[in-house]
Amino acid sequence: MLGLMQEWPLTVDRILDHAAKNFSHREVVTRNVESGQLTRTTYEAIWKRAKQVTNALQGHGVRLGDRVATLAWNTERHMEVWYGAMGMGAVLHTVNPRLFPEQIAWIINHAEDQILFFDTTFAPIVDKIAPLLTTVKTYVSLTDRDHAPKLNSTHVVAFEDFIAGQPYDARWGGFDENTACGLCYTSGTTGDPKGVLYSHRSNVIHAMAANQTDCFGAGANDVVLPVVPMFHANAWAIAFVAPMCGAKLVMPGAKLDGQSVYELLEGEKVTFTAAVPTVWLMLLNYMQENKLKLSTLKRVAIGGSAVPERVLRAFEQDYGVEVIHAWGMTEMSPIGTIGKLLPEHYASDEESQIKAKLKQGRALFTVDMKIVDDEGREKPHDGKAFGRLLVRGPAVARSYFKNAGAKNERGECLEACGFFDTGDVATLDELGIMQITDRAKDVIKSGGEWISSIDIENIAVGAEGVANAAVIGVAHPKWDERPLLIIEPKPGAQPTKEQLLAFLDGKIAKWWMPDDVVLTEKIPLGATGKINKLALRETFKDYRLPSTQAAE
């Protein structure tokens, strides 16, 4: 017997409809990409202009299911294109501008994007790749006519001209909730990038899950600053969450440095913000150097890579801001787990709580997780046994776009048990708290046992004079691999191997102790701000550890 409730497909156009109806005058503030000045608009105005975008897209021949690309910062115009495209059932493809231009061209061609919207910052990239693009018919610069760049390789339309004169009414929704809605390619450290194709239903469900009290917990009294870009899995759902709950939205545009973020946090009275650790390291350094305080910020979501202990301690102990440690991935829309503590943790002392918060946390409702060995057998939940972390849920990818990386004849990227392999290696404890111990490919295999590079990095980054730390496995004749600690010192600092190893002593198992330490000017970061281990492994592929010489 079926239930007797109304048909109301879960499509994301309803989110902006809701905001325009219920929070019409709530502000959306943007740091303008060209001037750096703040501009102010409202959900109602964004809704109207997004309808104009829909009409303009349709006028350019875009139809249900067609892909439309953005190469853009977090701005109000990006929101307008976002909802204008998604609302009519086109697929919004957010392209990561930090990728190499050739990779960007490959992705846009693979997605068969029809129109490319771009911020003026990225005009040089567009100028370079336009001759390589096979499907893009129209190039729209997300600015007005006065600021639109003139490119050598193609004609550019200014966004304000693109939507000028278009009517405010356009039909949104009316299609199946499983219709494709957004496309985001994974950074693809091996092989070609793969497209994750979100549906309307998956985005709506994931946004509601991500905004549970124990996760973002945002409401109409919040002021939300997504520093995490919209091209990273929907700004971790915030592009949906904020209008859904009526929070004031603050968009950082092109400026993500410590000073610019601090000015927005204080100037706009931000209560909740989200970004990867690198952003917070820049902010904390800026605040520490200038002896500044935070007066309104209550919660900060940190994910994308593990929260370094000194970032956690600084926010919670020095600034009184609650850290929400989140783990997830593009294929999970992206949030999978959340590090909010449980009553069992609160019953213990503060240091134990800090330790618990450094773990990646427990599954959100809508995420089912397990850890398995190489044969797919489940590992115990004792906080010690490592295993491959598998997940499933309504906002977890089943297949990649055009069946890339398919593992079965149905084109799915799933294990035989129907779960998605995250590529992470993790433990689960008795309370269901997950801790990432490594990427499957980064784990250091020493004498048949696994060493977690991430654990060592997180501790090493807290040593004096250390700006960033990376640990990779280096070939070893006896142990197969041994850890090498690579340190990027803070400007002017020169920490020694002895000091660094002494700092690690007692904090990690003896056999995890790096066999050597090297200082490097800059640890390479990938397009999503994470340490580029592939590049480091390449640089140090012939590195001979002192212990190698001893073993020979």
HSE-up (13 A, CA, CB side) for residue 191: 7
Q: Parallel, antiparallel, or unpaired for β 387-392 and 368-372?
A: antiparallel
**Among 186, 337, 437, 528, the one annotated catalytic:** 186
Contact criterion met (CB below 8 Å) for 223 and 247: yes
Instruction: Decide whether 325 or 340 has the Cβ nearer to ligand AMP.
Output: 325
Does residue 422 bind ligand AMP (CB under 6 A)? yes
Nearest-approach distance from CB 236 to ligand AMP, in angstroms: 9
Residue 443: closest CA among 433, 435, 452, 431? 452
Query: Could you say which of 182, 195, 258, 334 contacts ligand AMP (CB under 6 A)?
Result: 334
Long-range contacts of 519-526 (CB under 8 A, 24+ apart): 519/486, 519/487, 519/488, 519/489, 519/494, 519/495, 520/486, 520/487, 520/488, 521/488, 522/488, 523/468, 523/469, 523/470, 523/486, 523/488, 525/278, 526/187, 526/189
Structure-derived torsion over alpha carbons of residues 48, 39, 229, 489, reported in degrees to the nearest 10: 180
398 or 439, CB closer to ligand AMP?
439
75 vs 422 by CB, closer to ligand AMP: 422
Told to judge if 331 belongs to the known catalytic residues of this protein, a careful annotator would answer: yes
Using CB under 6 A as the binding rule, whether residue 305 contacts ligand AMP is answered as: yes
Exactly one of 80, 160, 331, 481 is catalytic; name it: 331
Judged by CB under 6 A, which of 181, 208, 306, 500 binds ligand AMP? 306
d(CA 240, CA 153): 35
Show contacts with ligand AMP in window 427-446 (CB under 6 A): 436, 439
Tokens of 499: 């000091």
Rounded Cα distance, 469 and 482, in Å: 16
Neighbours of 131 (CB within 10 A): 10
370 among known catalytic residues: no
Q: Which of these segments, 204-212, 253-261, 319-327, 491-499, binds ligand AMP (CB under 6 A)?
A: 319-327
450 is catalytic: yes
367 part of the interface to ligand AMP, by CB under 6 A: no
In the list 84, 304, 473, 489, the residue contacting ligand AMP (rule: CB under 6 A) is 304
Task: Kindly give the residue spans of alpha helices, DSSP state H, lying in 150-257.
Answer: 159-163, 200-210, 233-236, 238-245
Show contacts with ligand AMP in window 85-144 (CB under 6 A).
none
Q: How far is the CB of 262 from ligand AMP (least distance, A)?
A: 23
H or E, element range at 456: helix 453-460
Q: Which of 244, 444, 221, 432 is nearest to 344 (CA)?
A: 432
**Is residue 424 a contact point for ligand AMP (CB under 6 A)?**
yes
Nearer to ligand AMP, 42 or 422 (CB): 422
What beta strand segments (E) does 5-145 contain? Answer: 27-31, 38-42, 67-71, 91-94, 113-118, 138-141
- Cβ proximity to ligand AMP, 57 vs 323, nearer residue: 323
Taking CB under 6 A as the criterion, the residue among 278, 333, 360, 427 binding ligand AMP is 360
**Could you give the CA distance from residue 48 to residue 408 in angstroms, rounded to a whole number?**
44
> 269, 293, 445, 478: which one is catalytic?
445
How many residues of this chain bind ligand AMP (CB under 6 A)?
Answer: 20
Contact residue for ligand AMP among 187, 212, 296, 547 (CB under 6 A): 187
Identified binder of ligand AMP from the candidate list 528, 529, 532, 536, rule CB under 6 A: 528
C-alpha separations of 116 from 195, 273, 528 in Å: 17, 28, 21
Is residue 453 at the binding interface for ligand AMP, with CB under 6 A as the rule? no
277 interacts with ligand AMP by CB under 6 A = no
The one catalytic residue among 27, 44, 316, 450: 450
Binder of ligand AMP out of 330, 399, 458, 532 (CB under 6 A)? 330
Q: Which listed residue (16, 99, 329, 367) binds ligand AMP by CB under 6 A? A: 329
Looking at 152-160, 174-182, 329-337, 398-406, which segment touches ligand AMP (CB under 6 A)? 329-337
Residues near 77 by Cβ (< 8 Å), separated by ≥ 6? 30, 142, 143, 159
Integer CA distances (angstroms), 137 to 179, 247, 516, 541, in order: 24, 36, 54, 44
Catalytic residues: 186, 331, 445, 450
Q: Write out the residues near ligand AMP by the rule CB under 6 A.
A: 186-187, 303-306, 325-330, 334, 360, 422-424, 436, 439, 528
